[in-house]
Structures are given as structure tokens and as C-alpha cells.
Amino acid sequence: MLFSFVIVGSKMVFSLLFFMIPKMITQSDGENAPFGLYVSIAPFLIIIFLIFLAPVQANYQPYDLILYGTLIATFGPVPMLFGINMLDFLLFIIIVSFAEALYAP
């Protein structure tokens, strides 16, 4: 039960990327904001992170990787506490993409 709760919470943070970030970027930068560009960075970063995390994934148990990845994913929204600008959005995308590559290869 706890394991399901951990996974659902982490996936909710990742869904924030696709559901809330476009609205926040449009509100911050106007109607012509390239939010599609920022959202499309996440899958690209996941692939890049997977290349570097392959040795890590070979040395740890899947359960441990899922726990570490979800722990990292929960810190994804923290940069947006300091403001709503493009740097904070990019930091959020980097953190969430790294966590996704760690716990769901």
C-alpha cells in the first residue's frame, strides 16, 4: 500500500509537467510563450540521463531505485517556490526528468 502511494505521488509530480506548466508559462510570458519547447525537453533529458544511469541501474535493486527516484521527484516543484520564471521551470524539468530516468527506465 505504501509503495503504491509513493509511486502515485511521484507520477502526480511528473503530470504537473504536462498539465500545469503550460498554463504557468503562458501566464508568465503571454500567449506566444513556447511552452511546447519546454515540455518537449523532458523526454529528451530522460533519454540522456538513461545513458548515464545505466551503470547505476545495473548495481542497485529495482525497488531501491524506485524509492530513490520518487524521493528525488518530490523535490521537483521546489525551484518554483522561489519564483515563476523560465530558470525555475527548467530546473523543475531537469529534476523530474532525472528522477523519471532513475525510477522508470
Tell whether the torsion through CA atoms of 71, 98, 7 and 86 is positive or negative: positive
The tens digit of pLDDT for each residue in 12-30 reads: 776 776 777 777 777 777 7
Contact in structure between 18 and 97 (CB atoms under 8 Å)? no
Percent of the chain past pLDDT 90, that is, above it, reads 11
List b or e across 64-97, with b for residues whose CB sees 16 or more CB atoms inside 10 angstroms.
ebbbebbebbbebeebbeeeeeeebbeebbbbbb
> Is 39 or 67 the better-scoring residue by pLDDT?
67
> Model pTM?
0.81
- The secondary structure of residue 81, as a DSSP letter, is G
